[in-house]
Amino acid sequence: MDLRDTPELAQFRRELRQWLVENVPQEPEPQDMVERFAFARAWQSKLYAGGWCGLSWPTEYGGRGFGPLEEAVASEEMARAGAPATFPSTHLGRALLEYGNEDQRRRYLPGLLNAGTIWCQGFSEPGAGSDLASLSTRATRDGDSFVLSGEKTWTSFGRFAEYSMVLARSDPTAPKHRGISAFIVPLDSPGISVQPIRIANGDEEFVQLFLDDVVVPAENLLGEMGQGWPLALSTVSYERGAVDLGYQVKFERYFTELVEQCKQSAALIDGTTDDAMGAVAVQLEVLRMHCLRRLSDRARTGSPGPASSGDKLFITWVEQDLMDVATRLVAPPGDEAHRLWFDRYLYGRAGSIYGGSSQIQRSILAERVLGLRFRP
Ligand SMILES: Cc1cc2nc3c(=O)[nH]c(=O)nc-3n(C[C@H](O)[C@H](O)[C@H](O)COP(=O)(O)OP(=O)(O)OC[C@H]3O[C@@H](n4cnc5c(N)ncnc54)[C@H](O)[C@@H]3O)c2cc1C
């Protein structure tokens, strides 16, 4: 495999590098959740206006029409420049691209790519997380509309979102995986209420989303009736993938920060530090190579598929090891720098749960990638 840039890619890299020098915000990412959200949104819209966001998305829906190589170069350069992460909702855009009709794609995708409209994922319910197909939110056809009732939970960014992609049971008589459909639900619809959920680091990033006879027009059905399950599998495969959500960029930026802190504080550097930092550096390098390989797989197969469960496990390990090392090194507890790393550490623990828990990812790898079946 030749990892050197072609002349065209080298030119693309130079242009992006120059743009980043001129545009990466110099101020640190805000700590406050609401300000952090506004910061991420502003950065994504600036990236998009500069032509550096939605690189591998079709031009007719607001993308640049490039391929995976440009995405890989962009990830590398953004990490190198210490650029903030973009808003983590492109996996929902992939579902719109794959299952939406022409009108839905043209209407919703540009806003999702430039963070002009914020989307959230209304999949999990209090009684349906790992076993998502047991969900009980109902969708009943009523003339030209559907009426949705039920409760969603752990809905990230539900406080800020304008739309939710909601899975609901549209045919209670069908086998559970077949009776589910997906809907585009505007969150200002009558009958919607949200209840913030506070997480361990104090942020109210999630909400519980209550739908009480919410009427959505029939044109907001996403895909065909009963297609909610394959849509959900495809969406989470992008959510679990190593390349879509910019984790590599984020972790490399954090690691660079940690290296600088270690350099500035001689007290942090000893034999144990060297060892721990070296181990994380290797993990990040392997993650970078892994992302390149997955992007090249994607170019062949078109979608991440069940192997993205391996990506998710890998991302989780790297994040948790990095935050573990950082909280041990950047002392003393109570210090402002330590608090920042500890917040990130706490958030890193969620990696074993969101997008499907680590146990579920391992089962998917065993069953759907390795072809093993558990026989009780
Ligand atoms: C940071 C974060 C963001 C999230 N964002 C969203 C979002 O935006 N939208 C959304 O819809 N959901 C979201 N979720 C919810 C997430 O998808 C669920 O929490 C996850 O699927 C697990 O479901 P659960 O919490 O109901 O746990 P459960 O399914 O009750 O699982 C509890 C424990 O049992 C284990 N377990 C369950 N079944 C099995 C099995 N068959 N084999 C082995 N072990 C099993 C699990 O691994 C877990 O350890 C988010 C979660 C987090 C942490």
Q: Which of 64-68, 155-159, 322-326 has the lowest mean pLDDT?
A: 64-68
Q: Tell me which of 155 and 70 has the higher pLDDT.
A: 155
Tell whether the model's pLDDT for residue 245 goes beyond 70: no
As for ligand 1, residues whose beta carbon falls within 6 Å of it are 120-121, 123-124, 129-130, 154-156, 350, 353-354, 356-357, 359-360, 363
Q: Which of 39-53, 61-75, 135-149 has the lowest mean pLDDT?
A: 61-75
Mean pLDDT of 156-167: 95
Kindly indicate the confidence band of residue 18, based on its pLDDT and cuts at 50, 70 and 90: very high
**92-133 pLDDT per residue, tens:** 999 999 999 999 999 999 999 999 999 999 999 999 999 999
Mean pLDDT of 235-244: 80
Tell whether the model's pLDDT for residue 42 goes beyond 80: yes
Tokens describing residue 119 = 């989307």
**330-352 pLDDT per residue, tens:** 766 777 778 889 888 998 999 99
Nearest to 358 by CA among 294, 310, 305, 303: 310
Q: Tell me which of 295 and 320 has the higher pLDDT.
A: 320
Q: Would you call 159 helix, strand, or coil by DSSP? A: coil
DSSP for 81-140, written as a single string: HTPPP--S-HHHHHHHHHH--HHHHHHHHHHHHTTSS-EEEE--BTTBSTTGGG---EEE
Q: How far is the CA of 356 from the centre of ligand 1 (A)?
A: 5
Dihedral angle sign, alpha carbons of residues 211, 212, 217, 222:
positive
Q: How far is the CA of 154 from the centre of ligand 1 (A)?
A: 9
**Contact by Cβ (8 Å): 153, 188:** no
Q: Tell me which of 21 and 88 has the higher pLDDT.
A: 21
As a dihedral over the C-alpha atoms of residue 20, residue 21, residue 26, residue 32, rounded to 10 degrees, the angle is 10
Q: Tell me which of 299 and 317 has the higher pLDDT.
A: 317
Mean pLDDT of the chain: 90
Distance CA 358, CA 96 (A): 26
- pTM for the complete prediction? 0.92
Q: How far is the CA of 46 from the centre of ligand 1 (A)?
A: 33
**Can you give the pLDDT at residue 273?**
75
How many whole angstroms from its chain centre is CA 175? Answer: 30
**Can you give the pLDDT at residue 73?**
86
**Can you give the pLDDT at residue 270?**
67
Q: Tell me which of 169 and 86 has the higher pLDDT.
A: 169
